[in-house]
Structure 1
C-alpha cells in the first residue's frame, strides 16, 4: 500500500495482550503506509479505544483477556458499524476464529503469516473484499468437513449446482485461497466483476463471507486438495 493508492493513511488500532507483538505489529503496519493510532492489551480497552479514536481498521487478536475477541468485535461494530476488523489467530484455534467471523470480522490472519500477508489483508479488507489467510482457511475447511454428515454434503452439492458455471469457477478459486485480483487475473475479468459474482454466490448459497463459501465448496466435493 502506498500513499498514491489512498487519499489518507488507513487509521489502525492494534489489539493484542502481548506487548512485544503490539510493538512488532506497529512497526509492520507503519511499513504498509497505514497509520497506527493506538493499541490495546485486552478487549475492554479495545472497545474504549475505538470509542475514543474511531479507527478505520482494528487488528484484533482472537484470544483476549477481560473481553474475548469475538465479543469485543461485536461491540465495536455496534458502536461504529463502519469499522473493519481483521482477526489474528494462532493455528489450532479454529472454533474461536469461526466465532470472530460470525461476530463480523472481515478478514483473518494466522499469526505466523502476518509479516507476509498483512499488507494484502489491509488492502483487501479496506477495499471491501475481505481476506482469508489460506492456511487458516484450510484448517477451517478440514474441521468443517470432518464434522459434515451425508445430509450436509448433499445439501452443499445441491446449492453448488445452483450456481452458474462462472460462479462455480469463482467459488472454487475462493476455496483455493485466491484474492479478488487473483481471481480476476485468472478469469480475465475486472475486480469489480469478481465482487459482483461473489455477492451473487453468497446470496445463492445462503452464506456470508469467503470462508463459508470455501467450506460449502469443499463439502460439495469441489474444494482444493488439502495437505
Structure 2
C-alpha cells in the first residue's frame, strides 16, 4: 500500500527537496504541497493523506496551529514536525500539538523516509527517554487537571500508563508488573484506546499533564 504524504513548508526549494526524497522511495507518494499552515489544513481535509510533513515556522498559520487543526479532525493523518532548531521547547510544543514525530530539516534522507514509515505504521517517532525528559521538564509549569476518562482505566492499566510516562518500554514494564510482554502490549493498546490517544508519546504528555505522574518521576 502506498503511503500518501503532504509536504508543508513555506520555502519552495525545501518542498521540492522533500518531495524528491519521498518519491525516490518505493511505496511513497507526495499527493500535495502547501506553502503555509492554512493551506496544509485544507489539503489534509481534501486529500486525506497518511502523513503530513509540517514545518513549524510558516506564514498565515504556523505549523503547530495547523497540526492542532488537522489532528482535531476525525480519523486524522499522522503529523511529523520539521524544524531547523533542535530545542526542547520546540519538541514539547510539537508533542502538545499532537505530533507523532519531530525531525530536523538537516536530517539525512534515509532518516526522513524511516520517520514516515514509522508514523504511518502507527508508532511514535520519538525516543521514549527523550520524550519523558522533555515533558517532565516543561510539565512542571502546568497545574495538573484530572480528566474524567482516567476513571475508565483499570488499576493495572493506570500502572502501565505510569510506567510508560517514566519512559519504560514494553519489554521493560513486565519486570515492574510481573506479567508477560504480550499482556503489557494489550494493556498499552487499551490505555490508548480508552484515553483517545494516538501513540506512546501522546500517552506520556497525558500522564504528566493529568497528574498521573509528577516531574521528577522519570526513569534515568
TM-score interval w.r.t. the shorter chain?
0.5 to 0.7
Find 2:6's aligned residue among 9, 13, 17: 13
Segments of structure 1 that go 5 or more residues without pairing to the other structure are 1-7, 153-161
SS at match of 1:200: helix
Q: Does 1:194 align with 2:188?
A: no
Query: Kindly tell me: are residues 170 and 20 of structure 1, through their superposed partners in 2, closer, same or farther at Cα, counting changes over 3 Å?
Result: farther
Q: In the alignment, which residue of structure 2 is the partner of 1:128?
A: 122
Contact 2:4 2:50 in 1 (8 A): yes
Contact 2:44 2:70 in 1 (8 A): yes
Write the deviation string for residues 156-192 of structure 1: whole angstroms up to 9, x where unpaired.
Answer: xxxxxx768x9489627x737x6xxxx55997845x9
Contact 1:85 1:106 in 2 (8 A): yes
Distance 1:116 1:217 in 2: 35
Give the C-alpha shift of residue 40 in structure 1: 1.1
Distance 2:214 2:118 in 1: 23
Q: In the alignment, which residue of structure 2 is the partner of 1:83?
A: 77
Write the deviation string for residues 87-110 of structure 1: whole angstroms up to 9, x where unpaired.
Answer: 22321361x543433333233223
Q: Which has the higher helix share?
A: 1
Q: In the alignment, which residue of structure 1 is the partner of 2:149?
A: none
Contact 1:148 1:219 in 2 (8 A): no
Contact 2:2 2:27 in 1 (8 A): yes
Q: Give the aligned CA root-mean-square deviation in angstroms.
A: 4.2
Q: In the alignment, which residue of structure 2 is the partner of 1:63?
A: 57
Q: Does 1:104 align with 2:76?
A: no
Find 2:167's aligned residue among 167, 175, 178: 175
TM-score, scaled relative to structure 1: 0.63
Q: Which has the higher contact order (CA 8 A, sep 6+)?
A: 2
Distance 1:196 1:213 in 2: 16
Segments of structure 2 that go 5 or more residues without pairing to the other structure are 145-154, 175-179
Write the deviation string for residues 93-152 of structure 1: whole angstroms up to 9, x where unpaired.
Answer: 61x54343333323322333363533333233222222225796377247427x469x98
What aligned pairs does 1:24-63 form with structure 2 within 5 A after superposition? 24-30=17-23, 31=25, 33-63=27-57
Give the C-alpha shift of residue 44 in structure 1: 1.7
Query: Kindly tell me: are residues 60 and 136 of structure 1, through their superposed partners in 2, closer, same or farther at Cα, counting changes over 3 Å?
Result: farther
Q: Does 1:219 align with 2:212?
A: no
Number of equivalent positions:
197
SS at match of 1:132: coil
